[in-house]
Amino acid sequence: MKNIEKKIDTLTKSILKEEKVESSQTLLTEMKNIGIEKLPYAYSSLKSFIDSETMDVHYNKHYKGYVEKLNKALSKKDYGDLELEQIVKSISRFNKTVRDNAGGAFNHALFWKMLSPKTQKANGKILDKIKSDFGSYVEFKKQFEEKAKERFGSGWVWLVLTKRNTLKILTTPNQDNPLMNVVKGGGYPILGLDLWEHAYYLKYRNKRDEYISNFWKVVNWEFVNKLYEMKLKTKINESTVMKKLITEGKSERCSREKVEEIRMIFNINPAVKNTFRYGIESILKSVFPDNWYENGEYAEGSMSGIFDLENRGRSVINKLNTNYNAFCVLYHDLNSVLRYERRPELQLIGLPPAQQVSETKKFVRILDEYKDRIFSSKSGTFQNVMAILGSTNKAGDAREDLVVKKLKEKFGDKNVKKIGELGAKSDMIMGVDCIIIIDGEEYTAQIKPYKTVKVVDENLVSMLDTGQVKVYSTDWIIFEGGPDGILVFDNSDTKIVDGNYTFDKNNLIYTLG
Ligand code: FE
């Protein structure tokens, strides 16, 4: 017992240490304590753009005011130790005062760095990217200025890098920032211009257009390029690590008995399943905002979820909500943390259904509390979960390939089509893995694993160890993996008994060797 505690303690310490190293590698480290960002030049040094009095008031009164009000608002409630960028990214959790002032603090801290006393020409990778995404630098400038002029009232105009790695110009009202999870179609800000009157009125009065066009004289392209390169690099590093985890990761799984206990709860009590599903979805969305896509946002007909985490389309992590092995690892690891912290452990097994649901709610709540520690590539739990999901996915692909091969042998090459492109609607919603054509008739099929066939009575058989058990609207369900070969069942009269697919024996329409 002592040993386990010691192990967890060392692990926690090393995770915390690594997290520290990680955050110090970001470019905006100074913001960590929501302190004041130092102005990297004198008030008078941006004269081609703005006068020193405006800079003085803008920096000392407006900007410092945002930071002070933000810290005051945060101190009223215990939000834990937060970084400004983290607050901005999860702004929907906070009230309007925090939203306005965190935005003000973050936007201005970025803005000061985006300005330079020396006129710089756009250069580096960001210039190449601008040319490829906007056609030319001149065209980009034109669009940026147009958008800026369109913004009515207080706000900002931004050049952002979207989730799909394209540049986009957008404006935000008040002190909103494109990183905020309340801003639709946002992205990572690369360049921004303050469009509040307080930023220009003393010098330009009502000539806001002139203020906008003078902006180019002071843009710190060196910094903008660094921001862009840093964001790209982080994205590439992350996806390489994730790819490694799902293809090379070693997974320590729960015992078969433990997984079976969880599978039973999930399949018998749908409220548990749904509570966990929606809970995990919202957690993943907030942990990986850059990789979250709504319905149809990633590609036409695509389902909402996490994409490109491993740089290969729809991520295996979306299966976390239905994979019992992964759930089991999360559940047991979370309990060892709770035990270590002397908090009451979660209890799902052996409870009446209503209590199972409230325990699942608690589970989701505690997961949410620890989410940043758990869903980090440095965490052992996460490595384990990704490895499990990766190998399940690989096994699923291999299974589909095998079944399709056998179906082709029986029905002919051109009469069998494999669907199952990750993220395609037909696969995700309808559960169609393949289509078989017999005498001009099309049949859809879902392919599942199984280990054994249990004879229930003289008419009924149940398929055991089939992974997630849910209702599919396909014509057939095909099972592969057990000693009885590939079994093709007609799906028109499928029952779920004790959480297992159960068929009338007459509905077995083909057996493939
Ligand atoms: Fe401002």
- Note residues around ion ligand 1 (Cβ under 5 angstroms): 194, 196, 199
pLDDT given at position 15:
45
pLDDT given at position 33:
52
For a pLDDT cut of 70, what percent of the chain falls above it?
A: 90
pLDDT given at position 169:
98
pLDDT given at position 250:
74
pLDDT given at position 430:
67
pLDDT at 21 over 50: no
Q: Which CATH superfamily is domain 2-244 in?
A: Iron/manganese superoxide dismutase, C-terminal domain (3.55.40.20)
Q: What separation in Å is there between the alpha carbon of 155 and the centre of ligand 1?
A: 9
The torsion defined by the Cα of 444, 447, 452 and 455, in degrees rounded to 10, comes to -20
CATH of 401-512, one of 3.40.1350, 1.20.120, 1.25.40, 1.10.760: 3.40.1350
Q: Measure Cα distances from 334 to 278, 288, 331, 369, 507 in Å.
A: 19, 20, 5, 11, 43
pLDDT given at position 276:
92
pLDDT given at position 7:
52
Q: Supply φ then ψ for residue 151, to 5 degrees.
A: -65, 120
The torsion defined by the Cα of 323, 328, 331 and 333, in degrees rounded to 10, comes to -120
Higher-confidence position of 34 and 125: 125
Which residues, in sequence order, are bridge partners of residue 167? 161
Q: What separation in Å is there between the alpha carbon of 110 and the centre of ligand 1?
A: 11
pLDDT given at position 115:
97
Which residues, in sequence order, are bridge partners of residue 512? 486
**Average pLDDT for residues 225-241, to the nearest whole number?**
87
pLDDT at 444 over 70: yes
pLDDT at 363 over 60: yes
Q: What separation in Å is there between the alpha carbon of 196 and the centre of ligand 1?
A: 6
pLDDT given at position 328:
92
Please state the three-class secondary structure of 112-141 as a single string. Answer: HHCECCCCCCCCHHHHHHHHHHHCCHHHHH
pLDDT at 309 over 70: yes
pLDDT at 32 over 80: no
Contact between 364 and 276 under an 8 Å Cβ cutoff? The reply is yes
pLDDT given at position 79:
64
Q: What separation in Å is there between the alpha carbon of 173 and the centre of ligand 1?
A: 12
- pLDDT, tens digit (0-9, with 9 covering 90-100), for 473-511: 899 999 999 999 999 999 999 999 888 999 999 999 999
Least reliable range by pLDDT among 225-234, 290-299, 342-351: 290-299
Query: What CA–CA distance (Å, rounded) separates 510 from 513?
Result: 10
Positive or negative, the Cα torsion across 202, 46, 28, 141?
positive
Identify the helix (H) or strand (E) that includes residue 159: strand 155-161
Largest Cα span, the chain: 92
Contact between 471 and 501 under an 8 Å Cβ cutoff? The reply is no
pLDDT given at position 471:
84
pLDDT given at position 424:
52
Q: How confident is the model at residue 93 (pLDDT cuts 50, 70, 90)?
A: confident
**Average pLDDT for residues 381-408, to the nearest whole number?**
91
Least reliable range by pLDDT among 41-50, 75-84, 100-109, 367-376: 75-84
Please state the three-class secondary structure of 328-381 as a single string. Answer: HHHHHHHHHHHHHCCCCCCCCCCCCHHHHHHHHHHHHHHHHHHHHHHCCCCCHH
Q: What separation in Å is there between the alpha carbon of 57 and the centre of ligand 1?
A: 10
Contact between 499 and 267 under an 8 Å Cβ cutoff? The reply is yes
pLDDT given at position 362:
94
CB atoms within 10 A of CB 416: 22
**Average pLDDT for residues 242-267, to the nearest whole number?**
84
Q: How confident is the model at residue 378 (pLDDT cuts 50, 70, 90)?
A: confident
pLDDT at 422 over 60: no
pLDDT given at position 413:
92
Instruction: Tell me the pLDDT of the chain averaged across its residues.
Output: 87
For a pLDDT cut of 90, what percent of the chain falls above it?
A: 56
Q: What separation in Å is there between the alpha carbon of 193 and the centre of ligand 1?
A: 9
Q: What separation in Å is there between the alpha carbon of 170 and the centre of ligand 1?
A: 17
- pLDDT, tens digit (0-9, with 9 covering 90-100), for 340-353: 888 999 998 888 98
Residue ranges per domain, the chain? Answer: 2-244, 256-391, 401-512
pTM: 0.70
Contact between 119 and 218 under an 8 Å Cβ cutoff? The reply is yes
Q: What separation in Å is there between the alpha carbon of 106 and the centre of ligand 1?
A: 11
Q: Are strands 188-194 and 155-161 parallel, antiparallel or unpaired?
A: antiparallel
Q: How far is CA 457 from the centre of its chain?
A: 46
pLDDT given at position 137:
97
Query: What CA–CA distance (Å, rounded) separates 84 from 28?
Result: 10
Q: What separation in Å is there between the alpha carbon of 41 and the centre of ligand 1?
A: 17
Tokens of 427: 């696969």
pLDDT at 181 over 50: yes
- pLDDT, tens digit (0-9, with 9 covering 90-100), for 129-151: 999 999 999 999 999 999 999 99
Q: What separation in Å is there between the alpha carbon of 154 and the centre of ligand 1?
A: 9
**Average pLDDT for residues 44-57, to the nearest whole number?**
96
Nearest CA-CA partner of 460 in 511, 506, 504? 504
The torsion defined by the Cα of 18, 19, 20 and 21, in degrees rounded to 10, comes to 50
CB atoms within 10 A of CB 150: 9
Nearest CA-CA partner of 486 in 413, 401, 388? 401
Q: What separation in Å is there between the alpha carbon of 194 and the centre of ligand 1?
A: 6
Q: What separation in Å is there between the alpha carbon of 51 and the centre of ligand 1?
A: 14
Residue with tokens 């694993």: 449
Q: What separation in Å is there between the alpha carbon of 183 and the centre of ligand 1?
A: 19
Q: Measure Cα distances from 136 to 160, 216, 351, 388 in Å.
A: 17, 15, 65, 46
pLDDT at 1 over 50: no
**Average pLDDT for residues 11-35, to the nearest whole number?**
46
pLDDT given at position 41:
95
352: buried, middle or exposed (CB in 10 Å: 19+, 13-18, 0-12)? exposed
Identify the helix (H) or strand (E) that includes residue 69: helix 64-75
Query: What CA–CA distance (Å, rounded) separates 470 from 501?
Result: 9
Please state the three-class secondary structure of 216-261 as a single string. Answer: HHCECHHHHHHHHHHHHHHHHHHHHHHHHHHHHCCCCCCCHHHHHH
Q: How confident is the model at residue 53 (pLDDT cuts 50, 70, 90)?
A: very high
Q: Angle at Cα 141 formed by Cα 137 and Cα 145, nearest 5°?
A: 170
